[in-house]
Amino acid sequence: MTLRNILLGATMLCAATTPAFAYAQDAAPADDAAAPAEDTTDYGNEIIVTATKRSQTLQDTPVAVSVTSAADLERSQIRDLIDLQSAVPSLRVSQLQSSANTNFIIRGFGNGANNAGIEPSVGVFIDGVYRSRSAAQIGDLPSVERIEVLRGPQSTLFGKNASAGVISIVTQKPQYEFGGTAEVTYGNYDAVTVKGNVTGPISDTVAFSIGGNYNRRDGYAQDLQLGTDVNDRNRYGVRGQLLFEPTDALSIRLIGDYDKIDENCCIAGNVIAGPTVAITNALAGGPSVDANDPFSYDVYNNFLSSNRIKNYGGSAQIDYDLGALALTSITAYREVRALTNQDSDFTGADLIGENSQNLGIDTWTQEVRLTSDFDGPFNFLLGGYYFNEKIKQKNDIRFGTQFRAYAGGLINPTAVLTSPNPNAAGNAVVSGLEQQIGGILGNPAQFAGQFFRAGDGLDEAYRLKDEAFSIFGTVDFDVTDRLTLTGGFNYTKDRKRFATNVASSDVFSGLNLTTIGRTAITQQGIATTVGQALGLPGLANAAQIQAFAQAQPALFGQISAGAAAFAAANQNNPQVNPLLALRPFQFLPPFLNVPNAVEDGKTSDSDLAYSVRASYELTDTVNVYATYATGFKASSVNLSRDSRPLASDLPAIISGGLATPNLVSGSRFADPEESTVYEFGLKANWSVAALNLAVFKQSIKGFQSNIFTGTGFALANAGKQSTFGIEFDGSVRPVDGLNLTLAVTYLDPKYDSFVNSAFGDISGTTPAGIPELTMAAGGTYTHEFAGGTRAILHVDYHYESPVQIVEGLTGFPASVAQNLKREVNQLNASFTVALTNGLEVGVWGRNLTNAQYLTTIFPAVAQSGSVSGYPSQLRTYGGVVRYKF
């Protein structure tokens, strides 16, 4: 589909609703009063939102925002933010290698997973509290009132990391009328979900609510080596609230919550089976992967991946009405504890014996804002935000019991593949290498049994402290009763301190193959020349060289000097130094810790973001607005084994004698992101229809890119990434009981400048993973029977046009990544019968067409020539019983 199709679709929807508009304007009020009870719910732009931190209808909010109501979540069986993307076309959510790693992307911009030091460009807020990492965001949704997805930079309204957009989850407040809901769902893969919420008064001025959820499901994939299902779901949570309203002017809302996840996630299938698959098959004694078939959902592992995540905290919101002013304070403290482990080679051979992470995040936030409600043309919002976060992270990656034999197979594939005992053959190859290198250094037994030894690897520890504050505000001025001008600002100061304590026990990776090779070249040159001087048919042995040196010391000195000079000149020439070919097997080299004498382990950033907006009421039902806004996200720190000194620091490190063997430049951190958007929007709301249209040009300078290369991640700043886009969403009720929705997003992204990407200069290319066209279409029909019982049928469809999944794949031609694309076609539906006593019974299905696609792909870990990928979730369906009282 093209831009023409989008505009055509929007035109068709508008044309279809035009007769209804005219009818509604002429209709008598009595006709509206006769509508069924279900139709009295807010539709379209009548929904109240707080996207600008003021309560306004969606129609009056001059911001590009998508709203998903509690009813929408129920009907579509949306349980978490991953499911939410099927209802919001501009939002994309990618589940990566664990339950704690999820990327949120709005309008093609977003990052943050795979590295706790990288804060997301899309801010997630729950009841005004910032959730800084995906591990604190991916639990099942609580009792939600609505979810607002704000598109584009929102820094002037939110204190932290909203350079690409915001996901704001608003939960239901405690009520002074006793009530609640209880829900039980059963589905395929033996899925059981239980949810409940109770609210009511404690006194005339105090109300409470308490809710909980439990979600368990068997895995939809099979591990044929371990003989068990994988990719299961096992999570639960509780949430309690107290609402104190001692006076009409004062409100205090206390919230406490606890969520726990204990799941096996996430499988990676084999997309391209490279030459290493034959070696892993030989070592495993059978299939080690389901070659070239990621959608078989059959995998082979040596141990189950684990995800044990605890996420808990509390907040206090105080609202005080001062008459023409309102004061709000939100204080929150949260903790995340995540322990994960994964068989990261994704094969049946025991290559990676452990790849674990123990992550702790403690976050304290404080927001205060003052909002005016003057009768005159002038109003303002002024706020302050404080953020204090401490991260402690320990990682361990260790060689498995067969990695030594696997390395031997990489060095000499024939020896392993032709042997009746591949493991012994591979070990023998490595033993020969140990003797060879030990012999060069004068002791053939020096490294016996030490290369690629099981249990060796990296012990990693990282610490990060982030302290930031922001002052933000907006000013609204009503030029006329229809024209409003708005200006906003946000000054942010962000300071980070980080430290590493990483130790490598990988002996082979600690060897300097350049200098060892130089020694070998020198020895070879001496042996060759002395052999020729003695008239030998080959090389002189050690005894002959020693005797020659004693007999002719002057000549031997000349021979030695000549050999050493030749070696020094050719030590980096792979045709002369064969040891250089072994560098790709130095997987876990020694790590230069920070801070050190050259690197202080600190970042300090500040920025003034601002916005200007004009909004105008063309009619009582049609508003337009134009916005220019900037956004900011501070530096992100590379808390991983791939952290390396900047190229500018490397000379000082070397001259200071700090360099570790095989040290190369990279990144310790990525510089800040600065975003800009030009946007024009139109919002219209009639009694039976509504539409919203936004046309924008958005860009981010210094976009923080984090790309997996096969053995690690490359963190780098893109010079500039920009996107032109059009967003349309509309709804129409052509007849009583029927509500139709259509949301379409068209994106045309480009790397204006990205010289230092992991794949070279990719300036001028299209960023991967951003579909040109995304669409969500839905329909809900409610039929009310005599007596009030309702039957509700809901259908929605989610589409993403084909798109290249990743920018590139290390070690592959560009054409390989260009030919691996993702296309999404997902159909969801539900049917519910709602009785007048509050009981509801229904059936539902997600991904009914069983669409299969790869969410992301990456070079297989330490397996050159192979590609792995995460397949999408299969079809799920079930029944639900819900009781509302």
The set of residues, in sequence order, having a beta carbon less than 8 Å from that of 241 and lying 6+ positions away, is: 171, 173, 174, 208, 209, 210, 253, 254, 255, 256
Strand stretches in 704-807, DSSP E: 704-708, 713-717, 720-732, 738-753, 773-784, 790-804
Amino acid at 107: R
- d(Cα 657, Cα 795) in Å, to the nearest integer? 66
Q: Quickly state the pLDDT bin for 100 (edges 50, 70, 90).
A: low
What is the Cα–Cα distance from 64 to 679, expressed in whole angstroms?
9
Is pLDDT of 51 > 90? no
In terms of DSSP bridges, do strands 206-217 and 233-244 run parallel, antiparallel, or are they unpaired?
Answer: antiparallel
> Residue 573: which pLDDT band, with cuts at 50, 70 and 90?
very high
Q: Which helix (H) or strand (E) holds 554?
A: helix 553-570
Torsion of CA 342, 344, 349, 352, to 10 degrees: -80
> What's residue 112's pLDDT?
64
* pLDDT per residue as tens digits for the range 713-759: 778 888 899 999 999 999 999 999 999 999 999 999 999 999 888 88
Q: Which pLDDT band holds residue 712 (cuts at 50, 70, 90)?
A: low
815 exposure class (CB count in 10 Å sphere: 0-12, 13-18, 19+): exposed
Rounded to the nearest 5 degrees, what angle is found at the Cα of 322, between the Cα atoms of 318 and 328?
A: 25
Q: What is the mean pLDDT of residues 73-88?
A: 84
- The predicted structure's pLDDT at residue 26: 31
Residue 17 has pLDDT above 70, yes or no: no
> What pLDDT score does 817 carry?
92
CA 748 to chain centre: 21
For residues 499-505, average pLDDT = 97
Q: What is the 3-state secondary structure (H, E, C) of 364-421?
A: EEEEEEEEECCCCCEEEEEEEEEEEEEEEEEEEEEECCCHHHHHHHHHCHHHHHCCCC
Segment 186-228, tens digit of pLDDT: 999 999 999 999 999 999 999 999 999 999 999 999 999 999 9
Q: 2 falls in which pLDDT band (50, 70, 90)?
A: very low
Give the number of other Cβ atoms within 10 Å of residue 178's Cβ.
11
Burial of 457 (0-12, 13-18, 19+ CB in 10 A): buried
- pLDDT the model gives residue 83: 84
The C-alpha atoms of residue 863 and residue 278 are separated, in whole angstroms, by 11
Task: Give me the pLDDT at residue 708, please.
Answer: 72
Which uninterrupted H or E stretch holds 474?
strand 457-478
Residue 583 to residue 631: CA distance in whole angstroms: 42
Cα–Cα distance, 550 to 558 (Å, whole number): 14
DSSP assignment of 340-355, as one string?
Answer: EE--TT-SSS--EEEE
Tell me, what's the pLDDT at 57? 77
Q: Specify the pLDDT at position 156.
A: 84
Q: CB within 8 A of 658, min separation 6: which ones?
A: 592, 596, 597, 598
pLDDT higher than threshold 50 for residue 149: yes
Closest alpha carbon to 400 in 445, 455, 359:
455
CB-facing half-sphere around the CA of 385: CA atoms within 13 A: 22
| Bridge partner list, 223 | 228, 299
pLDDT, residue 113, reads 63
The fraction of the chain above a pLDDT of 90, given in percent, is 76
Q: How many beta carbons lie within 10 A of that of residue 609, not counting itself?
A: 25
**pLDDT of 613-645, one tens digit each?**
999 999 999 999 999 999 999 999 999 998 999
pLDDT for res 182: 96
Q: Which two tokens stand for residue 228?
A: 């068990």
Residues 6+ apart with CB under 8 A from 842: 792, 830, 831, 832, 833, 879, 880, 882
Give the per-residue pLDDT at 553. 93
DSSP string for 287-341: -SS-TT-GGG-EE--SS--EEEEEEEEEEEEEEEE-SSEEEEEEEEEEEEEEEEE
Q: Which of 18-27, 120-129, 388-397 has the lowest mean pLDDT?
A: 18-27
Q: If pLDDT is split at 50, 70 and 90, which confidence band does 99 have?
A: low
Q: Which two tokens stand for residue 317?
A: 């919101």
DSSP three-state, residue 184: strand
- Whether 804 has a pLDDT exceeding 60, the answer reads yes
Check whether 159 has a pLDDT greater than 70: no
Are the C-beta atoms of 687 and 653 separated by less than 8 Å? no
Q: How far apart, in whole angstroms, are the C-alpha atoms of residue 446 and residue 431?
A: 11
Give CA separation, 332 vs 44, 253, 329, 869, in Å: 33, 12, 10, 38
Among 120-134, 181-195, 367-381, 828-842, the minimum mean pLDDT is found in 120-134
Mean pLDDT of 830-839: 96
CA distance 112 to 133: 7
Sign of the C-alpha dihedral computed for residues 807, 811, 813 and 816 taken in this order: negative
Find the helix packing angle between 542-551 and 553-570, rounded to 10°. Answer: 130
pLDDT in tens, 220-257: 999 999 999 999 999 999 999 999 999 999 999 999 99
Write down the pLDDT at residue 709: 67
Is pLDDT at 832 greater than 60 in this prediction? yes
pLDDT tens digits along 691-704: 999 999 999 999 88
Report d(CA 189, CA 385) in Å as an integer.
Answer: 45
pLDDT in tens, 55-77: 777 777 888 888 888 888 888 88
Q: Choose the weakest-confidence range: 82-91, 452-461, 531-540.
A: 82-91
Closest CA to 274 of 877, 810, 855: 810
- Whether 24 has a pLDDT exceeding 60, the answer reads no
Q: What is the b/e burial string over 561-578, where b = at least 16 CB atoms within 10 angstroms of the residue's CB? A: eebbebbeebbeeeebbe
pLDDT at residue 21, rounded to an integer = 29
Report pLDDT digits (tens) over 320-351. Answer: 999 999 999 999 999 999 999 999 999 999 99
705 within 8 A of 717, measured Cβ to Cβ: yes
Q: What is the pLDDT of the chain when averaged over all its residues?
A: 90
**pLDDT for position 3:** 39
pLDDT of 13 reads: 38
